[in-house]
Amino acid sequence: MRVFDKKGLRSAKGLLLPYTEFKLFSDLDKTEFNGEKAKKIVTSAEKLLERDIPLLPASLYREFATVGNRANFEGKFFLRRDMAVSFAVAEAYENKGRFTEKLMDVVWAIMEESTWLLPAHLYCSPHYSDATLGPVFGDNSLHGLALFAASTCGALATVYMLCKDKLDEIDPVIARKMEYSLKERGIKNFLQTEFWWGGGLGRKTNNWCPWILSNILLTTAVVEKDTYVRERVVSKAMNYLDNFLACYEPDGGCDEGPAYWGAAGASLFDCLELIEDMSGGQISIWDSQLVKNIGDYIYKVNISGNRYVNFADCAPQTSPNAGMLVRFGQKTNSSFLVSFGKKQAKYGDHFFSASHMYRSLKWLSTPYVKDENCPMPLYSVLPDLGVMTARECEESDKGMFLAAKAGTNGEMHNHNDCGNFMVYYNGNPVIIDTGVGTYTKQTFSPDRYKLWFMQSGYHNLPSFDGIDQREGGQYRATEKHFDESERSAVCELRDAYPKEAKIESYVRRTSLCSGVVTVSESIRLREAKEIDFHLMLASKPELTGEGKIALPEGRHLTYDTSLSVELEEFDPVGMNTVSAWGTDTLYRLHFRINTDKCDIKFIIA
């Protein structure tokens, strides 16, 4: 759905405030920093004062191309940006001159970087080849514009806005070079090039689109004084945001998962707030049902506290900013999202990120959200995305919770997991989706599905003579049916597997009733095969015999005794499971049967 076009907002011409009249955070009565929050940033900045500005040598940049490691370079790259924005906020709040010298040095170091593209994003250079270093000499258009090039613009624009005068006292060249760099590497690049992430080349968009735009819009709002250029940037941004919204189904479900919603749906919200600021409220789409649904998605996939349904490339925990959730709900007239935002405040209302500076500055300029209790819905469904959640109790830290997925294997940040499910009890994991490993060169390469955690065999799904699901939009769940009265999801999974699996029909039904999760499997094959059902766990279960298994959190699994059972303990290579699950070992239960048809149930109570 193209929301801006539908409202006739195809151009920002004549709709923006002049630079001199524009006000950032136009919906706030006061925009000075909240003292309690600012003091926390000052404390962080003081610690950063003691650290050296990290070097970024060519050899470190080349590690991604030579050995596939992206973390070593990125850690130092991001530290530079964290230093810059922390020093700028601390100095703007204190006004004592304690941070200006180090701020000058780190800003200068960032501007002297040959490219702001990460090694993993070098392909976004307009002149990309097989080079292992950014080909940035000779022409500024070669810099390219990707996620963290744009967020570098947002970070430096923040420094410019908060500390230009203080840096001018040292040498006006610093701010002049910042303005030049931001226009050349950010604004001009954005206007002169069509980008795949904006949908301008016929590509499906993802979180890159609103995330990048939020930083380009902030940069333009703060640095660019020419009304014509400001109108061009906002007009192109609205077109790209329409491309982004057109990739969403009506239910507003994020196929990248809740961890990426903070960069997708939440960055969309940042963009809409920025455009509202720049237009003085003349450009507004808050009444869009799709925009409301995109906001509401996040509470529908909450398990308890900071635990979320982690389908796709997601860790099991994430922390969307409470204040942003409350504002999102207020502007879209979603009372439940407002209440959920207040509930989440009890788990920590903190947001300061050099990659999302508009949201960070707004967080700094608002009081802490007062936490309130919020009863959670007993049943939620995203029918287009194919995700259902059900819980036993409105209190999210009590009773059984079930999430089930139909969907396709052609999603953004896809795992081959059609039909997967997870079970929690009292807010804690019982049956899990293991999540995603540390990003390397392989993660987004043709060898992605050689990684174990991308494969359906390491999700709560069966294999057929070792044949797992395949990637691609043609591999999908069909005949989806969701029933609120039974808190159930039913889907046909035949087409999620390749033809050599010889599946005539595979219907899975998952339900939660009276605190009992039931997974019913009805399978018909064209020939007998060994069917190996898998269940993934983060804690060791106990095989008690006679069709019973003791699971974590005092739960028990009952299974058909015609199945042979085996417990596999394995080292989750490439995944930080200590951070995700508090363990360096994961477990996979195998339930095997050799047959051409079966009707069995797994019951968790």
pLDDT digits (tens, 9 = 90+) for 91-130: 999 999 999 999 999 999 999 998 899 998 888 877 666 7
- Is residue 218, in this structure, part of any structural domain at all? no
Per-residue confidence at 141, pLDDT binned at 50, 70, 90?
low
Query: Is this structure's pTM higher than 0.85?
Result: yes
**Closest Cα to residue 357, out of 78, 48, 85?**
85
504 burial type by CB count under 10 A (0-12 exposed, 13-18 middle, 19+ buried): exposed
**Closest Cα to residue 359, out of 272, 445, 297?**
272
Give the phi and the psi of residue 543 in degrees, each rounded to 5: -80, 105
- Is residue 209, in this structure, part of any structural domain at all? no
User: Which DSSP category does 187 fall into?
Assistant: I
Greatest pairwise CA separation for the chain in angstroms: 80
Q: In terms of domains, do 153 and 240 share one?
A: no
Total domains, the chain: 3
How far is residue 220's CA from residue 507's CA, in Å, rounded to a whole number? 52
Report residue 455 CA to chain centroid gap: 20
Per-residue confidence at 8, pLDDT binned at 50, 70, 90?
confident
- Give me the helix-helix angle, 265-279 and 289-300, nearest 10°: 140
Q: In terms of domains, do 113 and 10 share one?
A: no
Per-residue confidence at 139, pLDDT binned at 50, 70, 90?
low
Sign of the four-CA dihedral 51, 55, 56, 60: negative
pLDDT value at 449 more than 60: yes
Q: Percent of the chain scored above 70 by pLDDT?
A: 98
User: Which of 193, 211, 245 represents a domain boundary (last residue)?
Assistant: 193
Mean pLDDT to the nearest integer, 263-291: 96
- Is residue 211, in this structure, part of any structural domain at all? no
> Residue 135's pLDDT is what?
65
CA distances from 397 to 375, 377, 538 (A): 11, 13, 19
> Residue 211's pLDDT is what?
97
Mean pLDDT to the nearest integer, 225-247: 96
> Residue 224's pLDDT is what?
97
- Is residue 299, in this structure, part of any structural domain at all? yes
Q: Got the DSSP string for 382-398?
A: ETTTTEEEEES-SSTTS
**Closest Cα to residue 19, out of 233, 175, 255, 196?**
233
Per the CB < 8 A criterion, the answer to whether 308 and 265 are in contact is no
Mean pLDDT to the nearest integer, 365-393: 94
Average per-residue pLDDT for the chain? 93
Sign of the four-CA dihedral 249, 252, 257, 262: positive
The beta strand positions in 338-477, using DSSP E, are: 379-382, 387-391, 400-405, 408-409, 421-425, 428-431, 462-464, 472-476
Q: In terms of domains, do 82 and 167 share one?
A: yes
pLDDT value at 254 more than 80: yes
Per-residue confidence at 460, pLDDT binned at 50, 70, 90?
very high
CA distances from 173 to 89, 98, 149, 165, 230 (A): 21, 20, 22, 12, 24
> Residue 496's pLDDT is what?
97
Per the CB < 8 A criterion, the answer to whether 264 and 211 are in contact is yes
Mean pLDDT to the nearest integer, 456-461: 96
Mean pLDDT to the nearest integer, 9-27: 93
Q: In terms of domains, do 367 and 481 share one?
A: no
Q: In terms of domains, do 436 and 552 share one?
A: yes
* Tens digits of residue pLDDT in 203-232: 889 999 999 999 999 999 999 999 999 999
CA atoms within 13 A on the CB side of 232: 13
User: Which DSSP category does 54 fall into?
Assistant: P
> Which amino acid, 132?
T
| N-term to C-term CA, the chain | 42
Q: Write out the residue range of the structural domain in which residue 482 sits.
A: 379-604
Give the phi and the psi of residue 327 in degrees, each rounded to 5: -65, -40
User: Which of 335, 354, 374 represents a domain boundary (last residue)?
Assistant: 374
Mean pLDDT to the nearest integer, 355-373: 95
**Closest Cα to residue 299, out of 279, 272, 328, 270?**
328
> Residue 348's pLDDT is what?
81
> Residue 127's pLDDT is what?
66
> Residue 313's pLDDT is what?
87
Per-residue confidence at 29, pLDDT binned at 50, 70, 90?
confident
Q: In terms of domains, do 162 and 77 share one?
A: yes
Q: In terms of domains, do 262 and 186 share one?
A: no
Question: Which CATH number is 516's domain given?
Answer: 2.70.98.70
Q: In terms of domains, do 409 and 505 share one?
A: yes
User: Which of 328, 345, 374 represents a domain boundary (last residue)?
Assistant: 374
Q: In terms of domains, do 136 and 257 share one?
A: no
Q: In terms of domains, do 316 and 413 share one?
A: no
pLDDT value at 1 more than 90: no
- Is residue 310, in this structure, part of any structural domain at all? yes
CA distances from 138 to 27, 143, 183, 551, 604 (A): 43, 10, 17, 62, 64
Mean pLDDT to the nearest integer, 423-431: 97
Q: In terms of domains, do 360 and 506 share one?
A: no
* Tens digits of residue pLDDT in 41-78: 999 999 999 999 999 999 999 999 898 888 999 999 99
Give the phi and the psi of residue 532 in degrees, each rounded to 5: -120, 100
> Residue 61's pLDDT is what?
92
- Enter the tokens of residue 298: 């996040």
- Is residue 212, in this structure, part of any structural domain at all? no
- Is residue 370, in this structure, part of any structural domain at all? yes
Per-residue confidence at 142, pLDDT binned at 50, 70, 90?
low
**Backbone φ/ψ region at 473: left (φ over 0), alpha (ψ -120 to 50), beta:** alpha
* Tens digits of residue pLDDT in 309-339: 999 888 899 999 999 999 999 999 999 999 9
How far is residue 208's CA from residue 112's CA, in Å, rounded to a whole number? 25
* Tens digits of residue pLDDT in 165-192: 999 999 999 999 999 999 999 999 999 8
> Residue 98's pLDDT is what?
96
> Residue 2's pLDDT is what?
84
Q: In terms of domains, do 342 and 423 share one?
A: no
Per-residue confidence at 426, pLDDT binned at 50, 70, 90?
very high
